[in-house]
Amino acid sequence: MFVLATVMVVIDQLSKTWVARTLPLDGPDIPLTLGLGITHTRNSGAAFGMLRNLELRVGGFVIDGTVLLGLLSLLVSVGLIVYMSRNARRLTLLTRTALGLVLAGAIGNMIDRLRLGYVIDFIHFKVGSFDFPVFNVADSCVVVGAGLLILSSFLGGERHSHTTTVAGPPPPPPRRRAQPLEDYPELPPFGGRTSEPSE
């Protein structure tokens, strides 16, 4: 899980760095294939541009939405790390993969929000009149990880331990119960003589 999360965070950050250094901000799309293109944009909101103008007012202080989302991503990341560390052995491979992807997405965008004050997006999908919001690798990790979590919940997200019973030697036959004392014949008195009833 943690190796997968680390690899995906590295890919996310390297791809954002390449886009920021290579492509002009808000420049034209570079078409790739099947409606997929690359364009350099900045997002101060959540995934896919949601909650862009979010602000939190506490007394006389105003917490910027980007910082707030960054702190929220930090809390989610810490919670996922603690949960995965404690429950890794009883989770299925599918669940571990899903949680690793969600963790990578949370960390990838958290780094941007706390370091830059915005998130770099560059993947653009547009077919005809359908124009999907620009996103990045971290957003993709969150969406795919969430989908795998839903699938895992239907398949069973935890391993079930099966206990195997090793066959041993057969148990000994039950001991024969001795007959009660009343079942034995009446014994003669001492001296070998039997007492006759008196007339």
- Phi, psi dihedrals of residue 31, rounded to the nearest 5°: -70, 140
Q: For residue 49, give both structure tokens.
A: 């541009």
> What is the CB neighbour count within 10 angstroms for residue 144?
17
Average pLDDT, whole number, for the chain? 80
Distance CA 112, CA 145 (A): 20
The pLDDT of residue 197? 56
Residue 64 known to be catalytic: no
The pLDDT of residue 199? 53
Distance CA 75, CA 89 (A): 23
pTM score > 0.85 for this model? no
pLDDT digits (tens, 9 = 90+) for 39-94: 999 987 655 555 555 556 666 665 666 777 788 889 989 999 999 889 888 889 99
Q: Which among 12, 64, 131, 139 is annotated as catalytic?
A: 139
Find where tokens 């886009």 sit: 19
> Counting runs of H as helices and runs of E as strands, what totals does the chain give?
4, 6
Q: For residue 106, give both structure tokens.
A: 């949370």
Query: Residue 79: how many CA atoms within 13 Å on its side-chain side?
Result: 8
Cα–chain center distance at 104: 12
Q: Which among 26, 121, 131, 183 is annotated as catalytic?
A: 121
Q: Where are the beta strands (DSSP E) in the chain?
A: 30-33, 36-43, 55-58, 61-64, 119-127, 130-135
Q: What are the residues whose beta carbons fall under 8 Å from the beta carbon of 2, sequence distance 6 or more?
A: 81, 84, 100
pLDDT digits (tens, 9 = 90+) for 129-162: 888 888 999 999 999 999 999 998 888 756 655 4
Residue 112 known to be catalytic: no
Q: Which of 45-59, 84-98, 111-125, 169-183 has the lowest mean pLDDT?
A: 45-59
Q: Is the pLDDT of residue 198 over 80?
A: no
